[in-house]
Structure 1
Amino acid sequence: MDIVPLIDRIGEQPTAAVFGLITGIVFGVSAQRSRFCLRAATVEFARRMMDSSVAIWLLTFSTALVWVQSASLLGLLRPEDARMMAVTGSWSGAVIGGLMFGVGMVLARGCSGRLLVLAATGNLRSVVSGLIFAVVAQMSLHGWLSPTRDYLARLWMTEGGVNVNLLTAIGVPEWSGLALGLITAILAIYIARRSGMGYKRLVFGSGVGFAVALGWVLTYQLSLAAFEPVSVTSATFSGPSANTLMFFLIPDPVLEFDVGLVPGVVIGAFAASWFAGDFKFQGFDNEAIMRRSMFGAVLMGFGAMLAGGCAIGAGVTGGSIFVGTAWLALLCMWIGAIVTDALVDQRGAVGVAAE
């Protein structure tokens, strides 16, 4: 992949932003048409339904594994160079942050990525919750909440100044990640067929996983061609939401992958919903739901920054390269969501599907 002419033409930072924009558009279109949502999948699982939302999540996760692990085996990506793998991870942050995020996404009726997609389709509830999520994420990264986040993260850190690669840690062959992805994909397709899901939704569900792999490969190739250091990263919505917010608030902002990613998701989701006739404005039904959603967004904002990523960033993007703390955070997100659904939503008979 020769990206040098593009870099020479527009520069390294704009190229990173363009790559983020491309990744975001693919993600936005695919997530909107597939109705990808970790919250909906966890609720279905908690209620022993194992229906379409579980199938879509498994398909997205497996597709990301297959594409990313294939790219790694072909030399198009080095997982050890990824930003989240090359820095010290936090086991305590993964547990505490993951649980908080899981609770928050059930209360807010959607994870951070789902809120962004819904906001682009006219859902004003998601606009409010998404803005609160971004503000709290920024406060957790550089603001008043950062000392608390730092304290909790330092309770239990990974050793050696880097994160843990699960494949290396358990000593399995390099192709094991690809094999796991293929097995998970078969399970996803089986559940999808049993639930009567149409093939189009399956295709778009796999597109979400492909967007994650696309981001990894594009940023890795840019890191090889660029003169200045470039973070090897992919789709996530905790740090990028905060960075995109600050991009429009501070003087002399810097273009980067994150700043292109969020607008790309909005553009892709808006276009997909508009042409499908799904775009419509929606608001909060009542004050109680508004309070609940806002509190959930606060929990997600802090939890995502503590866990090292959101449902997409840790749950799919980090999981696709087998980052140890990402897998632990994903597990805790599921646990937090399942417990919250049992204690809050099932008692109140709230609907399962994401909005």
Structure 2
Amino acid sequence: MTPDLTTLVELHDTVPVLAAGGAAIGLLFGFFAQHSRFCLRAAVIDVWRGRFGERLSVWLLAFATALLAVQALMLAGWLDVGNARQMANRGSLSGALAGGVLFGVGMVMTRGCASRLLVLSANGNLRALLSGLVFAVTVQAALGGVLAPLRTEIAGWWVVDGGSARSLLGRLGLGPAQGLAFGAVWMAAAMWFALRAGSRWWTWAGGIGTGLAVALAWWFTYAVSRASFDPVAVAGLTFSGPSAQWLMRVLTSPAPPFDFDAAMLPAVFAGSALSALARREFRIEGFHNGLTMVRYIAGAVAMGFGSVLAGGCAVGAGMTGGAIFSVTAWLALLGMWLGGGLMDRWLPEPALQASARATA
């Protein structure tokens, strides 16, 4: 494992190796996410409407796989997330909950979370493409622009120290072994829902493949950090930060180094496009009317601000942070389920019907 990466780092330097790994993992994520229709919004709506079908089973399979794989890596000593930002840095509980709720509201309005918008954009969905661009602009505004003071204010209401205080398992006096057992419970639930829904084999493969991509990102960045003499951030998959990074990469010069996140984002797009073309699902889609366009833009703004406040998107906070049992990540995920469900209940039914063809 490590000797091979050490050789690669010595031969090609750290940044190119990180970029190559980000591209490979991004391709896998994009391909499996498109094939399986992986989407937190779809799972949330299914639960709130009492339909425990295939869309829920896909998300559960992905989440349970990421949880199991990450905890297994930690138990085996192949992964240490102590220096990851979701654990080491001071966190915001108020930001996680409020941001999660806002993100959930936004993903229902745009009919897709941040990763799903990228996947749909690669399938020819212009609604998702515009929403993704607005999302990236809002993320940048929340990170260091006009929305930054508001984000800082909300985040300061209720904070938690870094280290063991941000670990849900640590707070309970548990470790990776108990985390692995908890992941097994989630996997059992995922399998039960998948069998109950009569899910096709691609649902199983796609959900599991998506979850493995999340775990692989954690392992790869950690392994490179061990093999490199340069400082390397141990991190997993996320789409909010990289979206803003790509926005600034296009608008400013010189561009920052082409690292893991920079390579991952276009690779997800490419993997999704390949899957859509292979299944003959690529088609150009636009807005049906002006009112629908306004709703998508407003949703993208809510989702962009919410993702920065929550410390990540549905994948970055919900799955990547959830898999390492970060307290703020689980709180953000709870907020996403609440916000998404409440928005689905409140959104006028005619508006849902007008954009029904946009459903993933």
Q: TM-score range by the shorter chain?
A: over 0.9
In structure 2, stretches of 5+ residues that fail to align are: none
Q: Is the CA contact (8 Å cut-off) linking 1:108 and 1:296 kept in structure 2?
A: yes
CA distance in 2 between partners of 1:163 and 1:249 (Å): 38
Q: How far apart are the structure 1 equivalents of 2:280 and 2:357?
A: 23
The answer to whether residue 314 in structure 2 is matched with residue 314 in structure 1 is no
The worse-fitting range, judged by mean Cα deviation, of 344-353 and 320-329 is 344-353
Deviation at 1:162, TM superposition (A): 7.1
TM score, norm. by length of structure 2: 0.95
CA distance in 2, matches of 1:131, 1:178: 37
| Cα distance in 2 for residues equivalent to 1:54 and 1:76 | 30
Partner of 1:58: 60
Deviates more, 1:162-171 or 1:344-353: 344-353
Distance, in Å, in 2 between the alignment partners of 1:345 and 1:36 is 25
2:309 counterpart letter in structure 1: L
Between 195-204 and 107-116, report the one with greater CA deviation.
Answer: 195-204
Residue in 2 that maps onto 1:178: 180
Could you tell me whether the CA contact under 8 Å between 1:244 and 1:258 is conserved in 2? Answer: no
Mapping for residues 76-155 of structure 1, pairs under 5 Å: 76-155=78-157
Q: 1:271 corresponds to which residue?
A: 274
Residue of structure 1 in register with 2:286 after alignment? 283
Q: 1:334 to 1:203 in 2, by over 3 A?
A: same
One of 184, 207, 210 as aligned partner of 1:208: 210
User: Which region of structure 1 is more displaced relative to structure 2, 18-27 or 39-48?
Assistant: 18-27
Is the Cα contact below 8 Å between 1:40 and 1:353 reproduced in 2?
no
What stretches of structure 1 move > 3 A for 4+ residues in a row? 160-163, 345-354
Deviation at 1:172, TM superposition (A): 2.3
Q: 2:330 aligns with which of 327, 331, 355?
A: 327
Alignment map for 1:34-53 (pairs within 5 Å): 34-53=36-55
Q: Is the 8 A contact 1:44 1:352 kept in 2?
A: no
Distance 2:131 2:253 in 1: 26
How far apart are residue 159 of structure 1 and its match? 2.4
Task: Give the CA deviation at 1:249.
Answer: 2.3
Q: How many residues align?
A: 355
In 2, distance between residues paired with 1:163 and 1:347?
45
Distance in 2 (alpha carbons) for counterparts of 1:245 and 1:63: 31
TM-superposed CA distance for 1:129, in Å, is 0.3
Contact 1:94 1:325 in 2 (8 A): yes
| Residue identity in the other structure for 1:275 | A
Matched, 1:12 2:46: no
- Matches of 1:36 and 1:332, distance apart in 2: 19
The 5-angstrom pairing of residues 331-342 of structure 1 reads 331-342=334-345
Say which structure is richer in helix. 2
What is the TM-score of this pair, normalised by structure 1? 0.96
1:68, distance to aligned residue in structure 2 (A): 0.5
**Mapping of 1:68-79 within 5 angstroms?**
68-79=70-81
Helix, strand or coil at the partner of 2:91: coil
CA shift in 2, pair 1:68/1:102, >3 Å: same
Name the counterpart of 1:261: 264
Q: Are positions 1:241 and 2:243 aligned together? A: yes
Counterpart check, 1:344 vs 2:341:
no
- Is the CA contact (8 Å cut-off) linking 1:98 and 1:307 kept in structure 2? yes
Q: What amino acid is aligned across from residue 278 of structure 2 in structure 1?
A: F
SS in 1 for 2:157: coil
Secondary structure of the residue that 2:133 maps to in structure 1? helix
Q: CA deviation at 1:79?
A: 2.0
- Percentage of matched positions with identical amino acids: 45
Q: What is the aligned-residue RMSD (CA, Å)? A: 1.6
Please give the per-residue CA displacement for 1:170-212, whole angstroms capped at 9, x wherever unaligned. 1124311111111111111111111111112211111110000
Per mean C-alpha deviation after superposition, the further-off stretch among 333-342 and 190-199 is 190-199
Structure 2 distance, partners of 1:348, 1:30, is 30
For residues 334 and 142 of structure 1, do their structure 2 counterparts lie closer, same or farther at Cα, with a shift above 3 Å needed? same
Question: For the Cα contact (< 8 Å) 2:87–2:162, is it kept in 1?
Answer: no
